Amino acid sequence: MAENEADAGKDLRLERLTKRFGDFVAVDDLTLTVPRGSFFALLGPSGCGKTTTLRMVAGLEDPSAGRVLIGDQDITHLRPYKRPVNTVFQSYALFPHLSIFENVAFGLRRRGVKDYQQKTRDMLELVQLGPYGDRKPAQLSGGQQQRVALGRALINEPGVLLLDEPLGALDLKLRRQMQIELKRIQTEIDVTFVHVTHDQEEAMTMADTIAVMNHGVIEQMGAPADLYENPVTTFVANFLGQSNLIKTNVIGTSGGEIVLDCHGQKLAVAAARSHADGRSAWLGVRPEKIYASVAGVEDRTDADVLTGGRVTDVSFIGVSTQYLVAMPWGQELMVFEQNTGSRPSFRNGDEVDLMWAPDHAFLLDADQDAHAGMMRPEDRE
């Protein structure tokens, strides 16, 4: 479709988009630009508004306020079938009464595309389902159904492809495989993908840009590595991977570093990595950034050092060993160490010092909840 090809060259823009269900604000004044051709992930826990946002772009939900634009075209109130946007639905929503071929051909036939048969066969080849055209969806495996859903949407050459937890119904191994596959197809056909997921690993594996959503607003947006290495809120620090958040007091600055007091021990963090402005702050360090050494043996002046730790738990994971280290003020910090085999692992009760590079830490506002974004074990997949 000619207008679709033209739309492929345009950005998706959301302007002050809001959706209220009664008193509940699902999406709150969201403004966002998804550059064309990018793989964009909306990441957040269930109920954060990410799926509602997606549905407003698809036209399946009517915004309470704000606008949705593709390029300069305002599509906020267009019916779903008038939008140059296609969706891969959660659990696929394949038409059970139609064959795989008819499922994939559905969009083309509705628009009266003449050579839909050849195009459908080509698309079935692209998603590696050539021989399955005559089958019904229920006769295919989960992974195959997923590829039908993808093909059914992609065949329309949409300006923007929306993916609503597309891999949620697959088992772990198949999911990894499909992540790579999706990324490959996206690079190949150069379509803007907007991907909604609660799986931080999935988002980081595939997306160029991640927007972390919570309570209807975007907490932070950026490249996966930036979000992970330099989170600006406790929610992001905890939702993407794991973080140690240590209560500290700001006592001054020196040479581009902020000097902190942590229960009597002096620490520093790069000023560029500070997202706090109060007198007290959370100092965040990722567990794998911390190096544990036998107490009193190493003294590094170029590193942040916390002394007085005692190992209280040792978990051997295989690629790494994960320690819990109790600090003098009662907090237990996580320390992950690669199993390189270059030194023996610690045991319960060992006295250790913890150290890390100041530009691996980050500083967050103390009035945020240190537990925000932590997933309960039952939420982890």
Partner 1 sequence: MTGSLASRERATAAVPPPPARRPAGRWLADHLVLLLGILVLVYMFVPIGYIFALSFNQPSGRGATAEFESFTWSNWGSVCEPEGLCESLKLSFAVSLTATVLATLLGTLMAFALVRHSFRGRSASNLLIFLPMATPEVVMGSSLLAMFVSLGFDGVLGFVTIVIAHVMFCLSFVVVTVKARLVGMDARLEQAAMDLYANEWQTFRLVTLPLAMPGIVAAALLSFTLSFDDFIVTNFTAGQSVTFPLYVYGAKLKDFPPQLFVVGSAMFLVSFAVVIAAELWRRRRSTWSR
284-304 burial by CB neighbour count: b if 16+ within 10 A, else e? Answer: bbbbbbbbbbeeeeeeeeebb
Residue 235 CB, nearest approach to partner 1 (Å): 30
d(CA 320, CA 194): 34
Which CB atom, from 1 or from 303, has the smaller least distance to partner 1?
1
Which CB atom, from 16 or from 109, has the smaller least distance to partner 1?
109
Of the candidates 184, 200, 113, 215, which has an alpha carbon nearest to the alpha carbon of residue 155? Answer: 113
d(CA 133, CA 135): 6
Residue in the structure block whose two tokens are 């237990």: 332
Here the tokens at position 22 are 């009664």
C-alpha dihedral sign at 22, 23, 26, 27? positive
d(CA 218, CA 235): 11
Residue 172 CB, nearest approach to partner 1 (Å): 24
Of the candidates 260, 264, 308, which has an alpha carbon nearest to the alpha carbon of residue 285? Answer: 260
d(CA 161, CA 150): 9
Which CB atom, from 60 or from 303, has the smaller least distance to partner 1?
60
d(CA 69, CA 365): 35
Which CB atom, from 97 or from 279, has the smaller least distance to partner 1?
97
Residue 65 CB, nearest approach to partner 1 (Å): 22
Which CB atom, from 139 or from 187, has the smaller least distance to partner 1?
139
Question: Looking at residue 92, what DSSP letter applies?
Answer: B
Residues that bind partner 1 (CB under 8 A): 58-60, 79-81, 85-87, 89-91, 93-97, 106-107, 110-111, 136-139, 152-153, 156
Which CB atom, from 19 or from 360, has the smaller least distance to partner 1?
19
Which CB atom, from 78 or from 262, has the smaller least distance to partner 1?
78
Residue 58 CB, nearest approach to partner 1 (Å): 6
Are the C-beta atoms of 306 and 354 separated by less than 8 Å? yes
Residue 334 CB, nearest approach to partner 1 (Å): 40
d(CA 296, CA 278): 33
Residue 21 CB, nearest approach to partner 1 (Å): 14
Question: Looking at residue 272, what DSSP letter applies?
Answer: G
Residue type, 210: I
Using only the alpha carbons of the chain, give its radius of gyration: 25
Residue 99 CB, nearest approach to partner 1 (Å): 10
Of the candidates 282, 248, 236, 274, which has an alpha carbon nearest to the alpha carbon of residue 359? Answer: 274
Residue 205 CB, nearest approach to partner 1 (Å): 26
d(CA 116, CA 163): 24
d(CA 275, CA 364): 5
Which CB atom, from 162 or from 283, has the smaller least distance to partner 1?
162
Residue 163 CB, nearest approach to partner 1 (Å): 12
Which CB atom, from 79 or from 343, has the smaller least distance to partner 1?
79
Residue 95 CB, nearest approach to partner 1 (Å): 6
Which CB atom, from 109 or from 300, has the smaller least distance to partner 1?
109
